[in-house]
Amino acid sequence: MRRPLNSLIQSSAYAFYKVLTTHCHALKLGTLADVYTANKILNAYTRCKELHIARKLFDEIPHRDTVSWNTMIAGFVNCGNLETACKILKNMRRCDFDFDGYSFGSLLKGVASAYRLEVGQQLHSMVIKMGYEENVYAGSALLDMYAKCEKVEDAYTVFEYLPEPNSVSWNALIAGFSKVGDRSTAFWLLHCMEKEGVRAEDGTFAPLLTLLDDIEFYKLTIQIHGKIVKHGLAFDNTVCNAMITAYSECGSIRDARKVFDGAVGMRDLVTWNSLLAAYLVHEEEELGFQLFLDMQRLGFEPDIYTYTSILSACFEKAHKSHGQSLHAVVIKRGLEYLVPISNALIAMYLKSNNTSMREALKLFESMELKDRVSWNSILTGFSQIGLNEDALKLFGQMRSLMVEIDHYAFSAVLRSCADLATLQLGRQVHVLAIKSGFKTNDFVASALIFLYSKCGIIEDARKSFEETPNDSSIAWNSLIFGYAQNGQGSIALDLFFLMRDRKVRLDHITFVAVLTACSHIGLVEEGLNFLKSMESDYGIPPRMEHYACAVDLLGRARRLGEARTLIESMPFKPDAMVWKTLLGACRVCGDIELATQVASHLLELEPEEHCTYVLLSHLYGHLRRWDEKANLTRLMRERGVKKVPGWSWIEIKNQVHAFNAEDQSHPLCKEIYQMLGELMEEITWLDTDTGLDILISDFDEPYESYDAKLLSAGNF
């Protein structure tokens, strides 16, 4: 059970009062001349973080020894003041006091915490010069410094020079290799440690558990759990918390809950937060909300991590009221001015729906302090909901205010350039990204591939891909989708097989891209085989967007009956995206009966969405069923649904010209409509045999646009 904050404050005040009392007695009795007594009082002051008093006492000690100096160094290091600690070390040398292992150990601890590698390297040279490289305390601290600064090869070299490494040395080395993600070396070190007869501790297993982050490591997680139980560490708080996270990452929320249930009486706030995160990762939002209430009922006050986690679960429509309630709780507890919580609230509103952009902007504008995440959230929000002009303006504002532009910002603004097809502006942002050092970043490369693919310049998309390390799926997925969208599905599939052969990790978005490629080049059976083999061959269960792709695949092949059967066989209830895809296929095939059934599902799911009404209305009009068309128009009017006009735009000499349907506002509209008419006549003449002219005449939203929606649904 946690200790209340006021009891901690009282205990700190009492400790300080005791030191003052002891100090007064020592002055009265004249025992401060004894260096042992003086050092004890000095140490007590540093533990209470009363460094100004400690410094004054240190200056008054008549006969200081090495312990006095080491106590001051450790005190400033523990308070995060590395610079002063270094100055004390220099003064120590000027006063002819020899350093020892504790002097170096304390200072190296501060270097590790501050990640000041250059200072650590200077201290390393002093350690060697003074012959302390084999001192266990100094050597372990040096090893730990290199490990925390991610210089694991140097850490291992230091380790080899230690005559008898203890558990602290082994743990520091294992933690270092775990931190850089070197799984094989970290577990090899565990094996060596056990062979050497060094007992494993909580500091041994906790770092190793962070490496068990995929379903393929589930059996290994069970084995490590067995070792933990064998060593009597099953109820250790740090290990318990790491076990919950490891089981969750390996796909077993059940085992994570078992570990949590077994930790009764030893749970801390991190334990609760670990299980909360596990529930949310596994989309068990209701269990997460219940856990949030249970922890408070048992006396655990949520912290920033708790609130940011639970707020991330409130973007679904079913949980919107929870999000608003949590916002009220945050305000009531005076936490709305904490930047991470404000950022979490902004993200919650942006994910909820497009209409919540106003609330997100209101929060953003009310923030006295904004960090990079705040700006990026709004920028990404503008980009994702189609307010691309606003995204470009905000990006310009970020640059003028000298806000740090990172890869997330570049990715968002490049996607806005892609949606607007503003190639020249996109190229300028590309140059800025290169100058800022993000040329090889996966997210930026993915956005560049998307930009050039959308603008039809697949060669430049491929060039952006080649300039990345190509070791993650992000850029691969973008390029596969880019080729698919540009009618080169065969190359897209070749890329997929190359990706598989190179053992690049496939994900669910990879299969959205592959199914899209199959759809665009008519490989129906191949696409259906990909859908069937996703889980059995690749361990990736099909999601909603994969079924939507398969429906699109069958719809393009005019196999509507199979598409309907596939939807009925889905392991979960189809969402609006799936039904919209089928409705688009019904429209192309002219199947009014099935279209009417599909539309009824959509009108139930999204009664306010204008696209369903418009698509069905166009279909009724095309088949000259005027009564049904009139009834649908009346229903739209009764429900207050208005058709949102479509927009088109073109970039000429860095200027974007935007148009909506039947727009007459452009100064050159007469010439534009004349040219447009000539183009339409030529297209109609070329494609009369295929019936494309019928599709062009009244198609409000292109059938192909569903590919972009599927990609967006996959969080691409």
Give the model's confidence band at 336: pLDDT under 50 very low, under 70 low, under 90 confident, else very high: confident
Give the model's confidence band at 5: pLDDT under 50 very low, under 70 low, under 90 confident, else very high: very low
The gap from C-alpha 102 to its chain's centroid, in whole angstroms, comes to: 40
Q: What pLDDT, in 10s, does the model give residues 437-449?
A: 998 899 999 999 9
Which pairs from 68-73 meet CB under 8 Å and 24+ separation? 68/35, 68/38, 68/39, 68/42, 69/97, 69/103, 70/100, 70/102, 70/103, 70/106, 71/39, 71/42, 71/43, 71/46, 72/42, 72/46, 73/103, 73/106, 73/107
Q: What span, in angstroms and rounded, lies between the C-alpha atoms of 166 and 220?
A: 26
pLDDT at 427: 94
User: In this model, does residue 716 exceed pLDDT 50?
Assistant: no
Give the model's confidence band at 126: pLDDT under 50 very low, under 70 low, under 90 confident, else very high: confident
Q: What span, in angstroms and rounded, lies between the C-alpha atoms of 546 and 530?
A: 10
Q: What span, in angstroms and rounded, lies between the C-alpha atoms of 209 and 203?
A: 11
- Bridge partners of residue 259, in order along the sequence: none
**What's the average model confidence in pLDDT over 371-375?**
94
**Is the four-CA dihedral 552, 554, 555, 557 of positive or negative sign?**
positive
User: CA–CA distance from 399 to each of 120, 403, 598, 656 (Å)?
Assistant: 36, 6, 47, 21
Mean pLDDT of the chain: 86
pLDDT at 242: 96
Token pair, residue 37, equals 């007594």
pLDDT at 639: 74
Count CB-CB contacts under 10 A for residue 6: 8
Give residue 100's identity as a one-letter amino acid code: D
Is residue 706 within 8 A of residue 504, CB to CB? The reply is no
The percentage of the chain sitting over the pLDDT mark of 70, rounded to a whole number, equals: 91
Token pair, residue 95, equals 């006063």
Give the model's confidence band at 645: pLDDT under 50 very low, under 70 low, under 90 confident, else very high: low
3-state SS class at 75: helix
**Is the four-CA dihedral 235, 240, 241, 242 of positive or negative sign?**
positive
User: In this model, does residue 323 exceed pLDDT 90?
Assistant: no
Strands 655-660 and 647-652 come out as antiparallel
User: In this model, does residue 705 exceed pLDDT 70?
Assistant: no
pLDDT at 495: 95
The percentage of the chain sitting over the pLDDT mark of 90, rounded to a whole number, equals: 46
Q: What pLDDT, in 10s, does the model give residues 258-300?
A: 999 998 888 999 999 999 999 999 989 999 999 999 999 999 9
User: In this model, does residue 363 exceed pLDDT 90?
Assistant: yes
Residue 612 phi/psi, 5° resolution?
A: -60, -50
Count CB-CB contacts under 10 A for residue 425: 20
Residue 637 phi/psi, 5° resolution?
A: -65, -40
**What's the average model confidence in pLDDT over 597-614?**
78
Give the model's confidence band at 714: pLDDT under 50 very low, under 70 low, under 90 confident, else very high: very low
**Is the four-CA dihedral 551, 553, 558, 559 of positive or negative sign?**
negative
Give the model's confidence band at 60: pLDDT under 50 very low, under 70 low, under 90 confident, else very high: confident
Q: Out of 318-327, 348-357, 383-392, 582-591, give the one with best mean pLDDT.
A: 383-392
Looking up tokens 């039904």 gives 579
User: In this model, does residue 709 exceed pLDDT 60?
Assistant: no
Q: What pLDDT, in 10s, does the model give residues 668-683?
A: 888 888 888 888 888 7
- Bridge partners of residue 656, in order along the sequence: 651
Residue 649 phi/psi, 5° resolution?
A: -150, 155
**Is the four-CA dihedral 214, 215, 221, 223 of positive or negative sign?**
negative
Give the model's confidence band at 313: pLDDT under 50 very low, under 70 low, under 90 confident, else very high: confident
List of residues 6+ apart from 489 with CB closer than 8 A? 483, 517, 518, 520, 521, 523
- Alpha helices by DSSP H, 544-691: 544-556, 560-568, 576-589, 592-605, 610-622, 626-639, 669-687
Looking up tokens 């010069």 gives 129
Is residue 363 within 8 A of residue 381, CB to CB? The reply is no
Q: What pLDDT, in 10s, does the model give residues 380-429?
A: 999 988 888 899 999 999 999 999 999 999 999 999 999 888 888 999 99
User: In this model, does residue 514 exceed pLDDT 90?
Assistant: yes
pLDDT at 662: 67
Comparing C-alpha atoms, which of 319, 710, 706 is closest to residue 542? 710
Least confident of 191-200, 458-467, 616-625: 616-625
Secondary structure letter of residue 17 according to DSSP: H
User: In this model, does residue 100 exceed pLDDT 90?
Assistant: no
Least confident of 142-151, 524-533, 659-668: 659-668
Comparing C-alpha atoms, which of 629, 631, 609 is closest to residue 621? 629
Looking up tokens 């533990």 gives 47
pLDDT at 527: 93
Give the model's confidence band at 98: pLDDT under 50 very low, under 70 low, under 90 confident, else very high: confident
Q: What pLDDT, in 10s, does the model give residues 146-165?
A: 999 999 999 999 998 888 88
Token pair, residue 305, equals 């991590």
Least confident of 486-495, 541-550, 648-657: 648-657
User: In this model, does residue 620 exceed pLDDT 90?
Assistant: no
Token pair, residue 657, equals 């010209």
User: In this model, does residue 693 exceed pLDDT 50?
Assistant: no
User: In this model, does residue 350 exceed pLDDT 60?
Assistant: yes
pLDDT at 697: 42
pLDDT at 512: 94
**What's the average model confidence in pLDDT over 484-490?**
90
